[in-house]
Amino acid sequence: MNIQFHETTKTFHLFNDHLSYILCVLENGHLGQLYCGKRIHDKEDFRYLIEKAPRPMTSYVYENDRTFSLEHIRQEYPVYGSTDYRHPAVEILQDDGSRISDFQYAAHTIFAGKPKLPGLPATYTEADGEAATLRIILKDPVTEIKLELLYTIFAYGGILARSARFINEGTKPVHLLNAMSFSLDLPDKDYVWMQLSGAWARERHIINRPLEQGILSIDSMRGNSSHEHNPFMVLKRPYTTETQGEALGFSFIYSGNYRIQAEVDTHDTTRITVGINPSGFDWKLEAGESFQTPEAVMVYSAEGLNAMSQTFHRLYRKRLARGYWRDRPRPILNNNWEATYFDFTEDRLVEIAAKAKECGVELFVLDDGWFGKRNNDLAGLGDWFANRDRLPNGIAGLSERIEALGMKFGLWFEPEMVNKDSDLYRAHPDWILQTPGRRTSHGRNQFVLDFSRNEVVDCIYGMMENILSQSKISYIKWDMNRSITECYSAALPADRQGEVFHRYILGVYDLYERLTSAFPQVLFESCASGGGRFDPGLLYYAPQGWASDDSDAVERLKIQYGTSMCYPISSIGSHVSVSPNHQVLRRTPLHTRANVAYFGTFGYELDLNKLPEEELQEVKEQISFMKEYREILQFGTFYRLKSPFEGNETVWMSVSEDKKTALVGWYRVLNNVNAPYTRVRLQGLDPDMVYTDIRSDACHYGDELMNLGLLTSDATSGEVSREEKDCGDFESKIYILKAKE
């Protein structure tokens, strides 16, 4: 890992074993992009990569020079209107109405480590030698706005983190209308764009399309990162697979409105921008004030998508997630929501928890319905005190009863929302986001609290802190069940209403920071009607997130496969629920429900008292298996082997750090008859170790399993007998491979 600056050519080269990223100061003082890709040797001069030529219908920076046009030069942080007609990285409205900027190089510093971003989640370092940072200072001579661009390159993997900071050193206020965190111009368009998209209950499905001239983007304008499009995108070469070829992954560490865009011009240059969505964004920057953009992370891989994902997994698991639970295996839990919904008493909850404890569950979680007058979704949100009709001993009393069973206790909150039928709303009707003179929309009969206001965040913190400090609570499920509409704050003047979306999410981060600091050993799990805010921003505070409200095992194959493109397995909330499933009404075998949920945090979303004795015994075996192997499942090296988006079978695997144990998950959606024999080539094993397949006692060298493959044929490769038990639809197996000593 190194950052070199060559004074004579004004060239910067950031590199490690995997990546080279080269930029320079152009003749007009702007920054030019020279190279982003596989590591190459450093040298003094790469400026030959600035290609210039006269072109028709082109505007030029300098008189009597028909070669230097920003329209045809690759840049680092482009502006619009000064010969570049493409979408810019920045747009600033000045007091005279102008939106033209001219950010010229002023200075730079290179230093070890990585600075924090105030008030924002971001990657971090803990030890010397983990990363180095380049800070480039640019200045606009007219507005006197200083722009600081941060580039951090990590020692391992092709990782580059970027952000921008604007400081108004002038005398007049300006309005920041667009402030991207990452901008990159690539010299060609020979890429396939990959995004993770969907909707409630089918989040993060993989969508591929080739780049063409024009604009391709994903975004959110909902106030949350959204079920619809995850703030993550990949550019992969057409020949790239899971195991070979180039891929560039872009991830935005932010939980609010965002935009990730690729603009391909008619000369096939590709411009990538990642940042806060400019639509509706308007940040007033007074003289002397500054604005920090969130962090964007790029990962380059020359060895396919698995290598890219593994780099993201390691970075986000070890240097984005924080705190007590970062490196600890997650407790196996039982959540009561699908077991009872709103229909429960204290004794009923203890009865469910007691059976869960008998089966080996470690944590019981009380979901929605415990507070205020919460008998349905019409009332109670915002009143974070126990409903004594249901819980006569309060949360403190219930938590003590659960702990007396030998379990930990967890609790559900939805801190950002309020019902109109609540004491909080009656006391503070102006505390919701609502536009004067307009109808105020609702979602799920609830309204969004104005978290851009400190007094609102303070009030919610006070109620949550009171519950947490007086009860034995080890886990918090933080839910968020609607997006923002009528985004207007009564506390801000008209010329600052464009700040509300961003200020809101800063308020969410502030509440998380205060709670995680006050209760450092509480495990927080983020949720937003399932996967509506499953993003890197929240991983900084909550090391795991409920991946989807859809707990059906078949649907989860696609959801968890897509999620693994960026997010570590330890972050994926995954549970076993009832059959037929409550979301899709599908009936799946109990073992398949568990075999999918193993590759995540693992838990149960049902009342175990209602299972027959045969299934209860199976649950006990599942929990025993998870306890034995959860460190490998959650923290091992994860490989995708067969995609649910491409066929009837899904296969993935996780390998221990020492490569002595591997767990292979194999899943077949629909049954076959007289089908071909099947095998799958494994990844990540030691080629010289001999592995025993615990299912069959067969022994194979690692190179054998990786090149010849693991045989997965069963009775469907022939005529299926009526006595065959494991050949129905929705079949699955876990293969355990252990190296012989």
Query: DSSP string of 704-732?
Result: HHHHT-EE---TTSSPPPTT-SS-SSSEE
Dihedral in degrees, nearest 10, Cα atoms 430, 431, 437, 441:
-140
pLDDT at 727: 78
Tokens of 73: 């030069």
**Which residue type occupies 191?**
Y
Q: What is the pLDDT of residue 721?
A: 77
Question: What secondary structure letter does DSSP report for 156?
Answer: S
Amino acid at 421: D
CB 216 within 8 A of CB 262: yes
CATH number for 2-53+64-319 (one of 2.70.98.60, 3.40.50.740, 3.30.70.270, 3.40.50.300): it is 2.70.98.60
Lookup: tokens for 464:
């949550």
In this prediction, residues 316-336 reach a mean pLDDT of 98
β-sheet bridge partners, residue 107 = 137
Cβ–Cβ under 8 Å, residues 344 and 336: yes
Structure confidence at residue 440 as a pLDDT band (50, 70, 90): very high
Q: Is 510 helix (H, G, I), strand (E, B) or coil?
A: helix
> Which residue pairs, CB below 8 angstroms and at least 24 apart, start in 45-54?
45/6, 45/8, 45/9, 45/11, 46/9, 46/11, 46/13, 46/22, 47/9, 47/11, 49/22, 50/24, 50/26
- Which tens digit of pLDDT belongs to each residue from 136-159? 999 999 999 999 999 999 999 999
Phi-psi region at 531: left, alpha or beta (left = phi > 0; alpha = psi -120 to 50):
alpha
Residue 517 has a pLDDT of 98
Tell the CATH topology of 649-739. Immunoglobulin-like (2.60.40)
**Of the listed 450, 479, 535, 550, which one is catalytic?**
479
Residue range 98-127, pLDDT digits in tens = 999 999 999 999 999 999 999 999 999 999
* C-beta of residue 562 within 8 angstroms of C-beta of residue 206: yes
Determine whether 65 is an active site residue. Answer: no
pLDDT of residue 725 exceeding 80, the answer is no
Domains in the chain: boundaries: 2-53+64-319, 333-631, 649-739
Catalytic residue among 219, 367, 535, 549: 549
Strands 572-573 and 544-546: parallel
For residue 463, the SS3 value is helix
pLDDT band at 724 (very low <50, low <70, confident <90, very high): confident
pLDDT for the residue numbered 728: 87
Is pTM beyond 0.85 here?
Answer: yes
Helix, strand, or coil here: 165? strand
User: How does DSSP classify residue 535?
Assistant: S
Instruction: Evaluate whether the domain defined by 333-631 bears CATH number 3.20.20.70.
Output: yes
Segment 301-329 mean pLDDT: 98
Residue 453 identity: R
Told to judge if 95 belongs to the known catalytic residues of this protein, a careful annotator would answer no
Q: Indicate if 649-739 has the same CATH topology as 333-631.
A: no
